[in-house]
Amino acid sequence: MSEPAIRISGLHKAFGRNLVLRGIDMKIPRGQVTVLMGANGAGKSTLVKVLCGVHQADDGTVMLGDTPFKPETPSEALHSGVVTVHQNINDGVVPDLDVASNLLLDTLASGGGTFLKRRQMRARAREIAVAVGLDIDVTLPVASLALADRQLVAIARAMAHDPELLILDEPTSSLSAAETKRLFEMVERLRDKGVAILYISHRMSDIRRLADRILSMRDGQIVQQFEQKPLDYAGAVRAMLGHEITEVDITIPANGKPVLELRELVLREGAAPFTMTAHQNEVIAVAGLVGAGKSAFAGVLFGLNAPVAGTMLLDGKPHKPRSSGDAVAAGVYMCPKDRLVNAVVPDFDITANITLPFSRRHSHPGGFLSFRSERATANRMIGEMGVICQGAGDGILTLSGGNQQKVMVARWMAEASRVLILDEPFQGVDIQARRDIGRKIRETAATRTTIVFVAELDEALEVADRILVMSEHSVVGDHRNEHIDVSAIMAQVVEAGAARAAG
Amino acid sequence: MHKSSSYLDIAIRYGFLALMAGLLIFFSVTAEGFLSPFSAVFILQSVAITGILALGVTATLVVDGFDLSIGAVATSALMLSAYVMVVWEMSAFWAVAISLAMGAAVGAVNGFLIVKFKVPDLLATLGMMFLLLGAQRIPTEGRSVSTGMALPDGTIATGTFSDAFLMLGRYRISDLVPLSVVFLIAIAVLVWGFLELTRHGRLMYAIGSNDKAASLAGANVNRYKIIAYMISGTLASFGGVLLAARLGRGDVASGNNLLLDAVAAALIGFAVLGASKPNAFGTAIGALFVGILLQGLTMLNAPYYTQDFIKGAVLVVALVFTFALSGRTGRGAA
């Protein structure tokens, strides 16, 4: 093994009381691709942001070669030789400028003369492009390039600095199979030149193709590293999930009659059709990686987008909502994810936030609101959900995240529904609120069918009778939440990418 | 937290009303005759038209929009109602009805541009403002409308402003309270009731605070936005009708200050009772505040050209109240 380019020990980082990195110890050797795996919230992005100078660590040391490395700003990290290519491709390039200007953007930004020397710029840009094997006309505007080429431009510019360490943060998440292949060829070329590469991904096909070593990260620590060839991929996945099985006991009740039947539903062009039935008294969790199509699925049920093909039946009758208003009228409710963006009305108190969708029910003829009826519902729901507040008139933003989320769930539980969709209801809530919300979902489930979209398998195990796995905008697995084989589900969740790369 | 910030809370809540009370006391002591009923009525009359426009713009502010075309809509309605009576020789009823329909239609177009064509609200209504300022001058080749004027085709207009129409702007109940003041109060109560007491108003506030959340709660966001602009357009055109009735002619040059005065009143309204959001009560108080200030200063013989300066200063102070002091919640923070 070659000498490490970078050595991290005891790295800590907290945001407020939330400890995100709890003592990271790792090294990244030259001339190898080190893959970092971790579930959502494990702290991967925070680690990357510390390394590229966006955040500063609270404690711990980073050694770059023999010198301590403590970047205050992204440009300082860049000049020290740590180059990062971010997940969002368009963060890395300026689409309106041509390739040459993009390749030389850092030089432009750091000054030296006022006027551009076009001929010199193009010549220098061509050198940079050739050095990384990027065969491209440097006079083209970046906006006309394919996604992968934009990505390669960003990497090429990064490489012009002769970096010690190249960090790629889920670089393939929006690339096609062919584009991914080109990216991999470039990564391999750079590795052979002796660059240390930290590659962050949870796409199994990428990892199999590139990894020389794997680090599994969980709860802000590196829990295990894998260096022995052949690499133990399954072990790496297990380590990143680290299952202590949660202590919530699920007793699966007998299914009621079918409520929602989906037949040969196609969520987007090219996705495989799927069929499923959701029953009364049933809580279904839908698991899958980011981009697996969970949001598209929820949106189709709630009338935000139409399916490409297939039929939906609600209590035996066709369900074709054309808007969220249609869906609500049909008794299909959705508590959306990202509550601050999609759900919370910041100017309103708890009461008005709860009654928002059902203001008609709290109105007299003529549209005048009955404040008494609103207040009664709000007080009832605050009691049922256990929202911690001083009263129903509290502003919604005075509550903690968990209590805000309880109010958002209460909004949709205040009225009887046929289908209740909860999109990531445990997002950004503490463990107590998560338990409360999960218990409430199960307690009230008898009168409807409930579909919970989850980010983490743990959440599904805590709340569901049945767990569906989504990948490539289709349902690829269906498991009863009983004696469940977590690694089998995980395999379905993660292996999905492999099918795409092969196909 | 309640103890330490209570003084600040009181200051934010009642600061503006206290300022207004102080102003009233100051003027009643220093300016002779300021406290007479006549003076009070005069203040109300001076703010009636801007107040009505301000209530309209409040409706668009509630849905987090903005309507810069209100001044132009008002002057267009002024010209249109005069044109209907003088050139087309139609009755007062049609003059009012056609003008209000024009205002509602302009509001609908504004709303449509913003909602369907995604034109930013300031730009859409600014464009509409220029369009209307130009359009209202075309039929008369840029001249004012009055009985006996020469039309572009050489004929003489013989229609007149009917007495019923002039009453709208000039009639005084018991020889004291002008009809326009009654309209202002009635419209203020209606708009307040609509925004605060009905579910439609509640949904409009929800849209202004977080339109994504309102949409995902099943509200028809686009429809409510269009309605808000239609309310704004209709009220602005009504203001224009009242102005025409007061002037008794279609004067191209009047109504220049309407937009700025109305917007100032609506924005001052943010600060009243610490609302930090657009609200009908605050808007009415805001309009009144400006009226009191200007009337008092006039009675103290302050020169007319200081008026805009003072209005601007009041607006800046009110905005500081809203956004810096009480901006901890509400859209001041966003």
DSSP-derived secondary structure for A276-333:
EEEETT-EEEEE--TTSSHHHHHHHHTTSS--SEEEEEETTEE---SSHHHHHHTTEE
Q: Per-residue DSSP letters for A135-179?
A: ---TTSBGGGS-HHHHHHHHHHHHHTT--SEEEEESTTTT--HHH
User: Nearest C-alpha of chain B: how many angstroms from A368?
Assistant: 4
User: Nearest C-alpha of chain A: how many angstroms from B334?
Assistant: 9
Residue A98 lies in a domain: yes
B112: tokens are: 């449509």
Q: In this complex, do B330 and A359 lie within 8 Å of one another by their Cβ atoms?
A: no
Task: Please give the residue range of the domain that contains residue A430.
Answer: 258-502
Residue A495 lies in a domain: yes
ipTM for the predicted complex: 0.86
Write out chain A residues lying below 8 Å of B197, CB-based: 368-369
What average pLDDT score do residues B55-62 get? 96
Give yes or no: residues A219 and A81 share one domain. Answer: yes
Confidence of residue B4 (pLDDT cuts 50, 70, 90): very low
Q: Taking CB atoms and an 8 Å cut-off, how many pairs form between chains A and B?
A: 80
From the list A325, A347, A397, the residue facing B277 with the nearest CB is A347
User: Nearest C-alpha of chain B: how many angstroms from A207?
Assistant: 37
Per-residue burial over B283-293, b if 16 or more Cβ lie within 10 Å, else e, is bbbbbbbbbbb
From the list B206, B212, B277, the residue facing A342 with the nearest CB is B212
Edge-first strand order for the sheet with A274-279 is: A274-279, A258-266, A309-314, A317-318
Residue entry with tokens 């767990």: A467
Alpha carbons within 13 angstroms on the beta-carbon side of residue A294 total 24
Q: In this complex, do A367 and B331 lie within 8 Å of one another by their Cβ atoms?
A: no
Q: Per-residue DSSP letters for B204-263?
A: HHHHHH-HHHHHHTT--HHHHHHHHHHHHHHHHHHHHHHHHHHHSSB-TT--TTHHHHHH
Confidence of residue A88 (pLDDT cuts 50, 70, 90): low
Confidence of residue A498 (pLDDT cuts 50, 70, 90): very low
Q: B200 versus A458: which is more confidently predicted?
A: B200
Residues 6+ apart with CB under 8 A from A344: A353, A396, A397, A404, A408, B210, B213
pLDDT in tens, A185-236: 888 888 888 889 999 876 777 788 888 999 988 888 888 888 887 877 777 7
Q: Per-residue DSSP letters for A386-427?
A: T--SS-TTSBGGGS-HHHHHHHHHHHHHSS--SEEEEESTTT
Residue B8 lies in a domain: no
What average pLDDT score do residues A280-285 get? 94
Write out chain B residues lying below 8 Å of A369, CB-based: 197-199, 202
Q: In the predicted model, what is the mean pLDDT of chain B? A: 88
Q: What is the pLDDT of residue A219?
A: 81
Q: Which of residues 367-426 of A touch B (CB under 8 A)?
A: 367-369, 395, 397, 411
Write out chain B residues lying below 8 Å of A408, CB-based: none
Cα A49 to the center of its chain, rounded Å = 16
Give yes or no: residues A352 and A498 share one domain. Answer: yes
Measured CA to CA, the distance from residue B63 to residue A32 in angstroms comes to 55
B179: tokens are: 């009809």
Confidence of residue A401 (pLDDT cuts 50, 70, 90): confident
Write out chain B residues lying below 8 Å of A346, CB-based: 209-210, 329-331, 334
Count up the domains in chain A and report the number: 2
B78: tokens are: 């002024």
Tell me: cis bond preceding A29? Omega within 30 of 0 counts.
no
Count up the domains in chain B and report the number: 1
Q: In the predicted model, what is the mean pLDDT of chain A? A: 84
Q: In this complex, do A323 and B219 lie within 8 Å of one another by their Cβ atoms?
A: no
B259: tokens are: 């937009």
Residue B334 has pLDDT above 50, yes or no: no
Cα–Cα distances in angstroms (integers) from residue A498 to residues A188, A203, A376, A471, in the given order: 19, 8, 53, 11
Which of A368, A375, A413, A421 to mutate: most B Cβ within 10 Å? A368
Give yes or no: residues A204 and A305 share one domain. Answer: no
Segment among A78-92, A204-218, A345-359, B43-57 with least mean pLDDT: A78-92
DSSP state letter for B116? T
* B277, closest residue in chain A (CA to CA): A347
Residue B111 lies in a domain: yes
Three-class secondary structure of residue B322 per DSSP: helix
Measured CA to CA, the distance from residue B321 to residue B10 in angstroms comes to 12
What average pLDDT score do residues B35-62 get? 91
Q: What is the pLDDT of residue A495?
A: 64
Q: What is the pLDDT of residue A14?
A: 82
From A215, A241, A267, the end of a domain falls on A241
Residue B324 lies in a domain: yes
Task: Please give the residue range of the domain that contains residue B39.
Answer: 34-332
User: Nearest C-alpha of chain A: how many angstroms from B118?
Assistant: 19
Residue B38 has pLDDT above 90, yes or no: no
User: Nearest C-alpha of chain B: how many angstroms from A75?
Assistant: 29
Give yes or no: residues A237 and A282 share one domain. Answer: no
Confidence of residue A163 (pLDDT cuts 50, 70, 90): confident
Cα B228 to the center of its chain, rounded Å = 14
Residue A22 lies in a domain: yes
Q: Which helix (H) or strand (E) holds B25?
A: helix B2-30
What average pLDDT score do residues A277-282 get? 94
From A181, A207, A241, the end of a domain falls on A241
What average pLDDT score do residues B87-114 get? 96
pLDDT in tens, B156-212: 888 888 899 999 988 888 888 899 999 999 999 999 999 999 999 999 999 999 999
Residue B6 lies in a domain: no
Pairing of strands A309-314, A258-266: antiparallel
Measured CA to CA, the distance from residue B169 to residue B289 in angstroms comes to 22
Long-range CB contacts (< 8 A, 24+ apart) of A439-444? Answer: A440/A384, A440/A385, A440/A409, A440/A413, A441/A283, A441/A409, A442/A250, A442/A283, A444/A413
Measured CA to CA, the distance from residue B107 to residue B103 in angstroms comes to 6
Interface of B with A (CB under 8 A): 197-200, 202-203, 205-206, 208-210, 212-220, 277, 329-331, 334
| Closest by Cα among A308, A302, A360 to A335 | A302
Q: What is the CA radius of gyration of chain B?
A: 21
Residue B196: burial class (beta carbons within 10 Å; 0-12, 13-18, 19+)? middle
Q: In this complex, do A347 and B219 lie within 8 Å of one another by their Cβ atoms?
A: no
Q: What is the pLDDT of residue A173?
A: 65
Q: In this complex, do A342 and B202 lie within 8 Å of one another by their Cβ atoms?
A: no
Write out chain B residues lying below 8 Å of A359, CB-based: 199, 202-203
What average pLDDT score do residues A118-138 get? 79
Q: What is the pLDDT of residue B123?
A: 96
Helices A401-413 & A431-443, crossing angle to 10 degrees? 10
pTM of the model as a whole:
0.76
User: Nearest C-alpha of chain B: how many angstroms from A23?
Assistant: 36
* A362, closest residue in chain B (CA to CA): B199
Residue entry with tokens 């020469």: B150
Q: What percent of chain A has pLDDT over 70?
A: 89
What average pLDDT score do residues A146-157 get? 77
Residue B331 has pLDDT above 60, yes or no: no
Under 8 Å between Cβ of A102 and A142 = yes
Report the CATH number at residue A373. Answer: 3.40.50.300
Q: In this complex, do B218 and A328 lie within 8 Å of one another by their Cβ atoms?
A: yes
Residue A314 has pLDDT above 70, yes or no: yes
From the list B198, B210, B217, the residue facing A357 with the nearest CB is B217
Residue A104 lies in a domain: yes
Measured CA to CA, the distance from residue B269 to residue B273 in angstroms comes to 9
Neighbours of B112 (CB within 10 A): 16
Residue A462 has pLDDT above 80, yes or no: yes
Give the E-state strand segments of A175-220 in sequence order: 196-200, 213-218
* B220, closest residue in chain A (CA to CA): A325
Q: What is the pLDDT of residue A83?
A: 84
Residue entry with tokens 């697996």: A292
Write out chain B residues lying below 8 Å of A328, CB-based: 217-218
Residue A243 has pLDDT above 80, yes or no: no
Residue A445 lies in a domain: yes
* A367, closest residue in chain B (CA to CA): B198
Edge-first strand order for the sheet with A283-287 is: A332-335, A419-423, A449-453, A283-287, A466-471, A474-480
Q: What percent of chain B has pLDDT over 70?
A: 96
Give yes or no: residues A272 and A223 share one domain. Answer: no
Which of B197, B210, B215 to mutate: most A Cβ within 10 Å? B210
Residue A424 has pLDDT above 60, yes or no: yes
Q: What is the pLDDT of residue A378?
A: 96
Q: What is the pLDDT of residue A202?
A: 67
Q: In this complex, do B217 and A323 lie within 8 Å of one another by their Cβ atoms?
A: no
Residue B7 lies in a domain: no
Q: What is the pLDDT of residue A109?
A: 62
Q: In this complex, do B220 and A369 lie within 8 Å of one another by their Cβ atoms?
A: no
Confidence of residue B91 (pLDDT cuts 50, 70, 90): very high
Give yes or no: residues A152 and A280 share one domain. Answer: no
Q: What is the pLDDT of residue A247?
A: 52
Q: In this complex, do B199 and A336 lie within 8 Å of one another by their Cβ atoms?
A: no
Write out chain A residues lying below 8 Å of B205, CB-based: 345, 347-348
Q: What is the pLDDT of residue B274?
A: 78
Cα–Cα distances in angstroms (integers) from residue A38 to residues A119, A199, A292, in the given order: 46, 12, 17
User: Nearest C-alpha of chain B: how many angstroms from A329?
Assistant: 9
Give yes or no: residues A162 and A297 share one domain. Answer: no
Residues 6+ apart with CB under 8 A from B1: none
Q: What percent of chain B has pLDDT over 90?
A: 52
